Structure 1
């Protein structure tokens, strides 16, 4: 299998010094009605101990009101191929929150309406599988929940643009394998894969803003701790909730 096998069009990298691949999805409309419809999804509200306290719409869970945003459950997955190259995406311009921002492979939420497992990790893993298929076109058999390795949780808050922001208990997962990638233009503008050295240069010179959760995961050392321990993720796993304010 090719590394991050693609059926999307391959474009010459904008940063020609990078050997990492860059892939465009098809062109999306400036604003897609689907993004609006997703705001009606029911997310899982939690307290600071990650205990479920109810649900609310995605719209209300991301709107800044009087400087506050409801705390809800989310996930972030980091994908590395067999060459230990990291997969990054740029969010589509039509995204309601953080459009055009660069982030890790996939970030989203388990949904309250299909929260049928008592095991929070299993519920989140199934949500990861669903979103990897939807955002990156990764076939479900390739994204087996049993292969998602849990690392830790972060609780972070960001006011974003002052209208739309984030307040999440974010489950961090790692998937370390070669995958088929076909970006969905409604969700993803472009996708890159980079070896570690070139990733550092890319971030240093990146012309795009970073999502707050991705930024916090890097700034607080988690990303490189993961990268250093890809062969033994269990050795860095913890069950704490690390609180960061953006």
Structure 2
């Protein structure tokens, strides 16, 4: 005896913007509008390196002045001086990696970088993305997100594997709010989370991100500033001109008193 199964075809809903927004009103439509002409079709990015153009589509966390997330926008939108001058502010991190000799790992940004190319800076500087694992409205959640972002970018820029920089080894010190132009078109306006980590790591540098690296002692870094032959990123100079060397002095003893600051340091 045989049986016959009848399969009933169900009509699939039409996937249109109107239908989706009706079903999911919580969707943020701004990013889709901002990136409609992204990548090589974007006149603002014409002539830049293709990989760096692609990274300009990443989603940054847009903030109010108290570091509360209010939405998301592309990296490109967040770094245009036209938008920065209107007050657009986003979240970032600056990671400082020290080896077992307490030397700080510096990097020189690649020529291909759209913002601040060729400048020397701290180990890794970037942004937590507007995704569940890297964002947060409370300070605790935001710190956790920036640590995950730092681990991700240390690998992407310098080839440092996550196993060599465990999340729990990152130390959060403070946040700085600063604004700095790169050129007439691009710049930074960030609440920047300062992270320290001590680890001996293996480097496999991504040349599209980093053109050189160097380990330095405090005295060597001070001499580099004094000689004036090299150019440094504005956020790195701000940090070094304020608390950096005091933090460094207490790297192995007493750093706890500088950690987990709740107030934002305004450096505008």
Q: TM-score, normalised by structure 1?
A: 0.83
**Preserved contact between residue 39 and residue 59 of structure 1 (Cα < 8 Å):** yes
* In structure 1, distance between residues paired with 2:87 and 2:206: 28
**Preserved contact between residue 224 and residue 230 of structure 2 (Cα < 8 Å):** no
Pair 1:223–1:159, CA change in 2 (3 A): same
> Aligned pair 1:63/2:80, yes or no?
yes
Three-state SS of the structure 2 residue aligned to 1:226 is helix
Q: Alpha carbon RMSD of aligned pairs, Å?
A: 1.6
Three-state SS of the structure 2 residue aligned to 1:181 is coil
Q: Higher strand fraction: Structure 1 or Structure 2? A: 1
> Aligned pair 1:240/2:263, yes or no?
yes
Specify every segment of 5 or more residues in structure 1 that has no aligned partner in the other structure, as ranges: 1-29
* In structure 1, distance between residues paired with 2:120 and 2:87: 22
Q: Higher helix fraction: Structure 1 or Structure 2? A: 2
Count the aligned residue pairs. 215
* In structure 2, distance between residues paired with 1:161 and 1:68: 17
**Preserved contact between residue 63 and residue 69 of structure 1 (Cα < 8 Å):** no
Three-state SS of the structure 2 residue aligned to 1:65 is helix
Structure of higher RCO (CA pairs closer than 8 Å, 6+ residues apart): 1
**What residue in structure 1 maps to residue 52 of structure 2?**
35
Q: Write out aligned runs for 1:168-207 (5 A).
A: 168-207=190-229
Q: TM-score, normalised by structure 2?
A: 0.77
**What residue in structure 1 maps to residue 97 of structure 2?**
79
Specify every segment of 5 or more residues in structure 2 that has no aligned partner in the other structure, as ranges: 1-46
> Aligned pair 1:131/2:153, yes or no?
yes
Deviation at 1:56, TM superposition (A): 0.5
**What residue in structure 1 maps to residue 18 of structure 2?**
none
**What residue in structure 1 maps to residue 143 of structure 2?**
121
* In structure 1, distance between residues paired with 2:80 and 2:230: 23
> Aligned pair 1:208/2:224, yes or no?
no
Pair 1:41–1:69, CA change in 2 (3 A): farther
Larger Cα Rg: Structure 1 or Structure 2? 2
**Preserved contact between residue 69 and residue 165 of structure 1 (Cα < 8 Å):** no
Pair 1:31–1:163, CA change in 2 (3 A): closer
Deviation at 1:32, TM superposition (A): 2.8
